[in-house]
Amino acid sequence: AHNHEDFVQCLSHYSNSSSISQLIYTQANSSYSSVLNFSIQNPRFSSPSTPKPLVIITPLQLSHVQAAINCSRQHGMQVRVRSGGHDYEGLSYVSDVPFIVIDLIEMRSINVDLETSTAWVEAGATIGEVYYRIAEKSRTLCFPAGVCPTVGVGGHFSGGGYGTLLRKYGLAADNVIDAHIVDVQGRFLDRESMGEDLFWAIRGGGGASFGVVLAWKIQLLPVPSTVTVFTLDKNLEQNATKLIHRWQYVADKLDEDLFIRIILQTVNSSSEGGSSEITIQASFNSLFLGGVDRLIPLMENSFPELGLTREDCLEMSWIESILYFAGFPSEEESMGVLLNRTVSGVLLSYKAKSDYVRKPIPEAAFEGIWEKMYEEEVGRAILIFSPYGARMAEISESETPFPHRAGNIYKIQHLIYWEKEQSSVESQRHISWMRELYAYFTPYVSKNPRAAYMNYRDLDIGVNSNNITSYTQSSIWGIKYFKNNFNRLVHVKTRVDPTNFFRNEQSIPPLSSRV
Ligand code: FDA
């Protein structure tokens, strides 16, 4: 039933475009591995034992996507759709059953329209490319999305998508105003023809359960020509624990123009005897939508304990702040790096999890977190605390499938990185460590459900077993990502894909499979 040769045959018949054969990579093709590996972000899923797609197709246009969907359906092939390849669990290019990958890398045009302050962005574009194309035309327009420029808009916008502008403007998904999608029948739909419930579902519910997103229309938003950034590093001797504790009482209540996140990690600090010691470092990493003259009094009023001075601050344009947060030189001349689709340097394997904090974590509890972080000597553990409040608290829980709104002080991202050369036993050890850390956090984070962010995909919180999707089984992870919105997602799925063609380990089940 899974005859990929028939599938390839079908593709060439379906599309009367002669070019399609050049867009198909089977395992016999010499470019197959480079095409597959190009956007893999997590080397954990590029080992020889990782299941590989039978065919990769890189469509150039709508008809190629339609052919891929129609032929997959006819020949019983499972489909995985990949845009930027940043899925934390590799779901866009790994499956346990025979499958093909539709890789949208060639469909990435971006059209910015200054007249309406909108842009059409094809799904294969990265957010770095979006930022670049906006800045090319205007220095006072922006778009609220993620920090890492290589993230793809296909997965990112459909799962939420946030960055330093989330307190001011919410998520990327909150600012999507139209979309183009190909459904299970191979039909092309826009917002009007897909209907409001499907349009709702793909803005936070993940695209992969519903079809292939081809493009998004996004609302660009105003940003002052001068913004201010700062990063203040504090280790334990510099009162980091007290400052983090205090931050929890102010971070979500600060002026909407002010975003201060905390990045926590272990670092080497050399002590007096010259020997190096491990300590915890908290980096208070901030974007302010205005000049330093307005920022300093704001900080003196709301978070004087941090002791921010003018000398700690840098004024720049918004696009330079994008470069700053991405770790590049923050000068407009280096803007071109935002067009790079690959990350420079060695890719590390990683495992991540997410949590939401609704009540400040007691100071004493942080001591236990530090102990846990000291235990992990080989890998690199990072915790990122991202503040909510402001715009995030104004949008209702049901406005989009993303339900983590009012009542959340901040989100935690737990991360552990390690070198890919390490054995699978070593990898398992890092993953176990991550699970223990997550267990340690249990008393301090959201409960019933223990909420999680879908774009930080974590298969530990539940999966659809054996590819048989059941409502009961799926609701275990579904409620954590979507709370009550899970039920509406199931209803949309039942209407648009009743046979569950678009499925993966964490796809929304249709009601017919309710058991
Ligand atoms: P990928 O192509 O792997 O797709 C992810 C999921 O979406 C898969 O299930 C896939 O099938 C589906 N999908 C992709 N394209 C689709 C399409 N066109 N139609 C339908 N379904 C589609 N998040 C965040 O909010 N803020 C941040 O700052 C960051 N930063 C960050 C940095 C790094 C280094 C990584 C690896 C990840 C992040 N993320 C993030 C998480 C990111 O938002 C998440 O992984 C996105 O789903 C990635 O989208 P891609 O298109 O790149 O992934």
Q: Residues 463-497: pLDDT tens digits? A: 997 656 689 999 999 999 999 999 999 999 999 99
Q: Which of 32-36, 66-70, 231-235, 421-425 has the lowest mean pLDDT?
A: 421-425
Q: Write down the H helix ranges in 170-291.
A: 191-194, 196-201, 240-250
Please give the distance, rounded to the nearest whole angstrom, from the Cα atom of residue 92 to the centre of ligand 1: 9
The interface predicted TM-score (ipTM) is: 0.99
Amino acid at 433: W
* C-beta separation of 163 from 144 below 8 A: yes
* Catalytic residue status for 88: no
CATH 3.40.462.20 maps onto the chain at: 227-316+349-444
pLDDT at 37 (0 to 100): 95
2 — pLDDT class (breaks 50, 70, 90): low
pLDDT score recorded for residue 376: 85
- Tell me the residue type at 124: G
DSSP H helical segments within 119-251, as ranges? 127-137, 153-158, 166-169, 191-194, 196-201, 240-250
Which band of pLDDT confidence, cut at 50, 70 and 90, is reported for residue 514? very low
Give the integer Cα–Cα distance in Å for 233 and 392: 27
What pLDDT, on the 0 to 100 scale, is given for residue 466? 64
- Mean model confidence pLDDT for the chain: 94
CB-based contacts of 344, cutoff 8 Å, min separation 6:
none
Contact call for residues 378 and 418 (beta carbons, < 8 A):
yes
Query: Whose CA is closest to 67, among 15, 132, 121, 119?
Result: 15
Judge if pTM exceeds 0.90. Answer: yes
Q: Which of 131, 410, 438, 456 is catalytic?
A: 456
User: Are the C-beta atoms of residues 29 and 75 closer than 8 Å to each other?
Assistant: no
What distance in angstroms lies between residue 89's CA and the mean position of ligand 1's atoms? 10
- Phi then psi for 450, rounded to 5 degrees? -80, 100
* 228/104 Cα distance (integer angstroms): 35
Q: Which pLDDT value is given to residue 65?
A: 97
Q: Which of 129, 135, 112 is nearest to 333 (CA)?
A: 135
- Locate the DSSP E strands across 344-409: 349-357, 380-387
- Residue 17's pLDDT band (cuts 50, 70, 90): low
Compute the distance from residue 484 Cα to the ligand 1 centre, in Å: 23
Pocket (CB within 6 angstroms of ligand 1): 41, 80-88, 91-92, 104, 123, 146-148, 151-152, 154-156, 158-163, 206-208, 212-213, 455
CA within 13 Å, CB half, 400? 27
pLDDT value for 424: 86
* 368-425: pLDDT as tens digits: 999 999 998 778 999 999 999 999 999 999 999 999 999 999 999 999 999 877 788 8
The CATH number for 227-316+349-444, chosen from 1.10.10.10, 3.40.462.20, 3.40.50.300, 3.40.50.720, is 3.40.462.20
Question: What residue ranges of the chain are covered by domains with CATH 3.30.43.10?
Answer: 4-106
> Which residues are registered as beta bridge partners of 264?
282, 383
CA dihedral 211, 214, 218, 223 (to 10 degrees): 120
Strands 410-418 and 380-387: antiparallel
d(CA 186, CA 65): 8
- What residue owns the CA closest to ligand 1's atom 26? 146
How far, in Å, from the CA of 31 to the mean position of ligand 1? Answer: 24
The per-residue pLDDT for range 5-15, each reduced to its tens digit, is 899 999 988 76
- CA distances 53 to 41, 82, 188, 291, Å, are 17, 12, 25, 50
Name beta bridge partners: 259.
Answer: 287
Where are any strands of DSSP class E within 175-254? 176-182, 188-189, 212-219, 221-222, 227-235
Residue pLDDT, tens place only, 252-309: 999 999 999 999 999 987 766 777 788 999 999 999 999 999 999 999 999 999 999 9
In order of 142, 159, 172, the CA distances from 222 in angstroms are 6, 24, 14
Could you give the residue range(s) of every CATH 3.30.465.10 domain in the chain? 110-222
The CATH code of the domain at 110-222 is 3.30.465.10
Q: Which of 210, 455, 507 to mutate for ligand 1's pocket (most ligand atoms within 8 Å of CB)?
A: 455
515, pLDDT greater than 50? no
CATH 3.40.640.10 corresponds to the domain 4-106? no
Residue 3 is predicted with a pLDDT of 74
- In tens, the pLDDT along 117-174 reads 999 999 999 999 999 999 999 999 999 999 999 999 999 999 999 999 999 999 999 9
The pLDDT score that the predictor gives to residue 12 is 85
